[in-house]
Amino acid sequence: MFEKRTLHGTYYALSAYLFWGFVPVYFKLVNHVSPWEILCHRVIWSVFLLLGILLYTRQLPALKVGPAVLKRLCVTAILLTINWLVFIYSIVNDNIVETSLGYFINPLVSVFLGMIFLGERLRPLQWIAIITAAAGIAFQLIYYGAVPWLALSLAFSFGFYGLMRKNLNLPSVAGLALETILIVPFALIGLAYLSTSGGMQFGVVDRQTDALLILGGFVTSFPLLCFAAAVTRLSLTSAGMFQYIAPSLSLIVAVLIYNEPFGIERIITFSCIWIALILFTVESLMHHRRAHRLHPG
């Protein structure tokens, strides 16, 4: 029974991360629409789909939260909006490689934020991993003379998002539904502005564009549901091993399908990040095994 549950968890995790890995293809299909409009539609159609899921699964009561939780959700909603907007902007402007870099950096950023805000102590190999990653970013800064702000914005916005969502004890679907509900008024205002200014593409270009924009709700919700199903069936360590699939696939998509440049300078930066992630992963596995031996229960 346990092995079957783990196997199902593996299928769900693979579904989530494979989907996230290829999701740039979707945003490329709507790159003739402004990032702002794509974001607005993503929010609005996600709300419809998520509320429908909660209604079908009889989880609507999970939307009832106290004022303290609602305040934190307002912050996470802002962080999520920033993350989504930067992600969309990067893809439609031919920067999929940098989004991949951002999500490779993200686990290391999360560890760093845990140290800063939660008082978590880094172990020696974790320090080496973070310093190695920082060296890769520093190289890109020196080579290009500019900070890779798209990658860092994605990594830190999602890192802070995870930090704020930590210990909220909200089901993932209900939490995302509440966050998108909080963003909906601004999304509607944005669409109203685009409509009056003549910048709206929905209902103007063609039916395919309309269908793709509506599909944004599914693109947002499907991998999240798979991920939620995976983490209930796998240990956090096991689930964490899958997180590098998505940025790896996105990098392959960027280079092989969309011919984004990936020269020696980016190879050096990514190599530093990959070495850091190998160190981080090996250290985490070793620490988990030590802890299991000391506390087998």
Say how far apart CA 171 and CA 228 lie, in whole Å.
8
Q: Which amino acid is at 204?
A: V
- The pLDDT, as a whole number, for residue 57 is 85
Biggest CA pair distance of the chain: 65
Distances from the Cα of 82 to the Cα of 89, 112, 277, angstroms? 10, 20, 25
- The pLDDT, as a whole number, for residue 282 is 82
pLDDT along the chain (297 residues), means of 10: 70 88 94 94 92 88 89 92 94 93 86 81 83 86 81 90 79 86 95 90 88 91 79 64 84 93 87 87 76 63
Q: Which long-range contacts (CB under 8 A, 24 or more apart) does 191-197 make?
A: 191/37, 191/40, 191/41, 191/44, 194/34, 194/36, 194/37, 194/40
Host domain of residue 163: 2-294
Number of structural domains (the chain) is 1
- The pLDDT, as a whole number, for residue 235 is 62
- The pLDDT, as a whole number, for residue 236 is 56
Half-sphere exposure of 291 (CA within 13 A, CB side): 7
